[in-house]
């Protein structure tokens, strides 16, 4: 196997609107991110996945792009972007750009031309039909919107302001590859590809994900752009199975480095129901089963895993599955330890490293996210009571991840001197970076250590994964490297649990408890977690 830099990398996701505001307009921006690079260097991360910063009307916070080769004025300028890339490079941090090419904004020049001039080549860059079928938008309602002027319907799987691109059009594909090369030439570290599994869609047959042309397109893209570069490419693929993940990430297939699968995230929803029917209680048995499958079926030779609990679309892990009250620090550390020692590239979402929590949303006017707002409108029409709607948004809504980064205990958590675009979580005086850095026992230092462990232990890449049969609430696995055995274990509950693992501790790599004592007592306190090397 050929080792790549991203095999022992840890990626940190920045959501620009909420990370750091440099000019007091209440909106995070590129100079703000640059000003916090020393903080990220201290954490030790090797790359930043930057959510979209391109020119956009911000209907979906930048996932609706009006110009792929310009920076949104609220975030700064192209010079600011160049500076971020350069300053990050000085600290050995690469910038992974968000590539959103399943759709554009309706304000992109292509779509404007397509509407104004139905005979233009751009018309075919999008998907038009005389009659809609019953495909739904992921953001509620029909996936088709009528365009008065040209008398046809266009397809949008997300908001009306996010028309889907027609990947069957070869000229469009070439334009996308040119745009990607523009960014590659700037010296970026790779791409995170938004809903990439949708580009092969066949709307008339209601095929949305994993269409037959998906992989041919990705091979074509690879050859036309990053194929001969040392970049990290990660696809967002909601429906991927290990078999599908191999199609993308087997190096022989020449597509991507890795994908994000969401099978474990699926446990946050009631089976077969839309996400608003959330499932707050974690099914630990299922969680173990899912990770076991991915860790054992997706090897090193034929594919690669991504590891994450959080991103800008998901509730905070410590709130949904951890305990964000009594055991906030301990449960946050337990989830971190459990994940970061698996095989794959770990991703940390901004604020996760200090245990930021969900926001206590009470009224709809506190909500900014288009997905939540569309859902609320539709649910109200159907007669769902307002308090039920707010409860869903509070538990599972995307704004939970998007509240401003909590830097210190000063006004607006040190995020901005102006009024933040989304309210700061009320607990910022207790939970913030300044406080975390000052406390040697903080969640931050657990993450810092985990990043360090990955850099120093190349066995993390290769070593086998073996799930242990433990009591229900305990998740434990062995990584086996030759005749060395590393035990990773977490009690994912608020109760004491029996330790049913035999053997002796040789050395401790990381712990949120005293692992040695756990073995002596054969008993785990709530949220105890550690990684130890075992004597054989
Ligand atoms: O998300 C894809 C996607 O399917 C999400 O809408 C997801 O279903 C939902 O957010 C779960 O709560 C990507 C981006 O990550 C998201 O931010 C964008 O809104 C979306 O694509 C459209 O670009
Ligand atoms: Ca700003």
pLDDT of residue 301: 87
Q: Mean pLDDT across the stretch 269-294?
A: 96
Rounded-to-integer distance, Cα 413 and Cα 424, Å? 7
Give the pLDDT band of residue 363 (cuts 50, 70, 90). very high
Q: Which residues contact 154 (CB under 8 A, 6 or more apart)?
A: 126, 127, 128, 144, 145, 147, 163, 164
**Which of 355, 242, 249, 382 lies closest to 298, judged by CA?**
242
For residue 137, give the DSSP letter: P
- Each residue's pLDDT tens digit, 317-361: 999 999 999 999 999 999 999 999 999 999 999 999 999 999 999
Beta bridge partners, 165, equal 126
- Each residue's pLDDT tens digit, 205-257: 999 999 999 999 999 999 999 999 999 999 999 999 999 999 999 999 999 99
For residue 205, give the DSSP letter: G
Do 208 and 135 touch, CB atoms closer than 8 A?
Answer: yes
Q: Which helix (H) or strand (E) holds 37?
A: helix 37-43
**Residue 324 CB-density burial (10 A; 0-12 exposed, 13-18 middle, 19+ buried):** buried
Cα 136 to its chain centre, rounded Å, is 24
Q: Mean pLDDT across the stretch 257-284?
A: 96
Ligand 1 centre distance from Cα of residue 509 (Å) = 36
Beta bridge partners, 71, equal 54
- Each residue's pLDDT tens digit, 74-92: 999 999 999 999 999 999 9
Annotation says 178 is catalytic: no
- Residue 275 CB less than 6 A away from ligand 1: yes
pLDDT of residue 119: 97
Owner of token pair 């985990």? 450
Planar angle of CA 166, 171, 172, nearest 5 degrees: 40
Cα 248 to its chain centre, rounded Å, is 18
User: Which-ligand-closest: CA of 16?
Assistant: 2
Distances (CA, A) of 213 to 138, 168, 242, 259, 402: 22, 9, 19, 18, 34
pLDDT of residue 299: 79
Mutate which of 99, 140, 194 for ligand 1? The one with the most ligand atoms within 8 Å of its CB, which is 194
pLDDT of residue 2: 85
Cα 45 to its chain centre, rounded Å, is 15
pLDDT of residue 300: 79
pLDDT over threshold 90, residue 30: yes
Ligand 2 centre distance from Cα of residue 421 (Å) = 10
Ligand 2 centre distance from Cα of residue 399 (Å) = 19
Q: Mean pLDDT across the stretch 22-51?
A: 98
pLDDT of residue 153: 98
- Residue 445 CB less than 6 A away from ligand 1: no
Q: Which helix (H) or strand (E) holds 190?
A: strand 190-193
Do 336 and 279 touch, CB atoms closer than 8 A?
Answer: no
**Protein residue with least CA distance to atom 14, ligand 1:** 194
- Closest-lying ligand 1 atom to the alpha carbon of residue 158: 22
- Residue 138 CB less than 6 A away from ligand 1: yes
Cα 58 to its chain centre, rounded Å, is 19
User: Which-ligand-closest: CA of 104?
Assistant: 1
**Protein residue with least CA distance to atom 23, ligand 1:** 63
- Each residue's pLDDT tens digit, 111-137: 999 999 999 999 999 999 999 999 999
**Residue 301 CB-density burial (10 A; 0-12 exposed, 13-18 middle, 19+ buried):** exposed
Mutate which of 158, 192, 269 for ligand 1? The one with the most ligand atoms within 8 Å of its CB, which is 158
Q: Which residues contact 517 (CB under 8 A, 6 or more apart)?
A: none
Do 312 and 13 touch, CB atoms closer than 8 A?
Answer: yes
Q: Mean pLDDT across the stretch 174-192?
A: 98
pLDDT of residue 60: 98
Rounded to 10°, the helix 328-340/443-456 angle is 10
Burial 338-359 (b: 16+ CB within 10 A, else e): bbbbbbbbbbbbbbbbbbbbbb
pLDDT over threshold 80, residue 437: yes
Rounded-to-integer distance, Cα 446 and Cα 440, Å? 9
Q: Which residues contact 333 (CB under 8 A, 6 or more apart)?
A: 443, 446, 512, 527, 529
Give the pLDDT band of residue 435 (cuts 50, 70, 90). very high
Ligand 1 centre distance from Cα of residue 264 (Å) = 16
Do 232 and 6 touch, CB atoms closer than 8 A?
Answer: yes
Distances (CA, A) of 327 to 47, 332, 334, 476, 499: 30, 8, 10, 20, 20
Q: Exactly one of 122, 164, 194, 369 is catalytic; which is it?
A: 194
pLDDT of residue 197: 98
Q: Mean pLDDT across the stretch 437-461?
A: 97
pLDDT of residue 330: 98
- Each residue's pLDDT tens digit, 471-514: 999 999 999 999 999 999 999 999 999 999 999 999 999 999 99
Burial 460-489 (b: 16+ CB within 10 A, else e): bbbbebebeebeebbbbbbbebeeebbbbb
Q: Exactly one of 236, 329, 435, 511 is catalytic; which is it?
A: 236
**DSSP-based three-state secondary structure for 56:** coil
pLDDT of residue 234: 98
Structure token digits, residue 460 = 């993390």
pLDDT over threshold 90, residue 313: yes
pLDDT of residue 14: 99
Question: pLDDT averaged over the chain?
Answer: 97
Strand runs labelled E in 340-483: 345-349, 464-467, 474-481
Rounded-to-integer distance, Cα 275 and Cα 238, Å? 13
Give the pLDDT band of residue 1 (cuts 50, 70, 90). confident
**Residue 292 CB-density burial (10 A; 0-12 exposed, 13-18 middle, 19+ buried):** middle
Ligand 1 centre distance from Cα of residue 512 (Å) = 33
- Percentage of the chain beyond pLDDT 90 is 99
CA dihedral 125, 131, 136, 142 (to 10 degrees): 100
Rounded-to-integer distance, Cα 530 and Cα 465, Å? 16
Phi, psi of 407 (to 5 degrees): -90, -40
Annotation says 236 is catalytic: yes
Q: Mean pLDDT across the stretch 11-26?
A: 98
Structure pTM? Answer: 0.98
């Amino acid at each position: 196997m050929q080792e790549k830099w991203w095999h022992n990398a840890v990626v940190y996701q920045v959501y620009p609107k909420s990370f750091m505001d440099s000019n007091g307009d209440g909106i995070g921006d590129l100079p703000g991110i640059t000003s916090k690079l020393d903080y990220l260097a201290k954490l030790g991360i090797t790359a930043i996945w930057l959510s979209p910063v391109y020119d956009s009307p911000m209907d979906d916070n930048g996932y609706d792009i009006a110009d792929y080769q310009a920076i949104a004025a609220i975030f700064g300028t192209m010079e600011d972007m160049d500076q971020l890339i350069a300053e990050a490079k000085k600290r050995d941090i690469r910038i992974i750009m968000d590539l959103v090419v399943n759709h554009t904004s309706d304000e992109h020049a292509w779509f404007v031309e397509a509407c104004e001039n139905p005979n233009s080549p751009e018309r075919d860059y999008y998907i038009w039909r005389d009659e809609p079928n019953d495909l739904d938008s992921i953001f509620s309602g029909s996936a088709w919107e009528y365009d008065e002027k040209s008398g046809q319907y266009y397809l949008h799987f997300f908001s009306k302001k996010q028309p889907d691109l027609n990947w069957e059009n070869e000229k469009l594909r070439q334009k996308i590859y040119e745009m990607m090369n523009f960014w590659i030439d700037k010296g970026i570290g790779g791409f995170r590809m938004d809903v990439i599994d949708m580009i092969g869609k066949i709307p008339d047959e209601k095929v949305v994900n994993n269409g037959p042309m998906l992989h041919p397109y990705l091979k074509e893209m690879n050859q036309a752009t990053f194929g001969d570069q040392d970049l990290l490419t990660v696809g967002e693929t909601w429906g991927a199975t290990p078999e599908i993940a191999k199609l993308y990430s087997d190096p022989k297939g020449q597509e991507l480095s890795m994908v994000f699968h969401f099978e474990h995230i699926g446990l946050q929803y009631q089976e077969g129901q839309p996400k608003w029917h959330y499932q707050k209680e974690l099914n630990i048995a299922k969680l173990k089963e899912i990770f076991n499958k991915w860790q054992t079926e997706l090897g090193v030779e034929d594919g690669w895993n991504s590891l994450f609990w959080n991103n800008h679309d998901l509730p905070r892990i410590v709130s949904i599955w951890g305990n964000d009250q009594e055991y906030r620090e301990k449960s946050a550390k337990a989830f971190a330890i459990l994940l970061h020692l698996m095989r794959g590239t770990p991703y940390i979402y901004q604020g996760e490293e200090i245990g930021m929590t969900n926001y206590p949303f009470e009224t709809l006017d506190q909500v900014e996210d288009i997905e939540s707002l569309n859902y609320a409108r539709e649910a109200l029409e159907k007669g769902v009571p307002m308090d039920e709607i707010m409860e869903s948004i509070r538990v599972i809504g995307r704004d939970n991840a998007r509240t401003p980064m909590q830097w210190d205990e000063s006004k607006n958590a040190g995020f901005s001197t102006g009024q933040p675009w989304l309210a700061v979580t009320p607990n910022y005086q207790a939970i913030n970076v300044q406080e975390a850095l000052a406390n040697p026992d903080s969640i931050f230092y657990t993450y810092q250590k985990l990043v360090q462990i990955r850099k120093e232990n190349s066995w993390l890449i290769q070593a086998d994964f073996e799930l242990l049969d433990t009591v229900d609430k305990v998740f434990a696995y062995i990584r086996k490297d030759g005749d060395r055995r590393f035990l990773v274990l977490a009690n994912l509950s608020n109760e004491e649990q029996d330790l049913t693992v035999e053997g002796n501790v040789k050395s401790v790599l990381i712990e949120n408890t005293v692992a040695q004592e756990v073995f002596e007592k054969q008993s785990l306190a709530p949220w105890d977690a550690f990684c130890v090397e075992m004597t054989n």
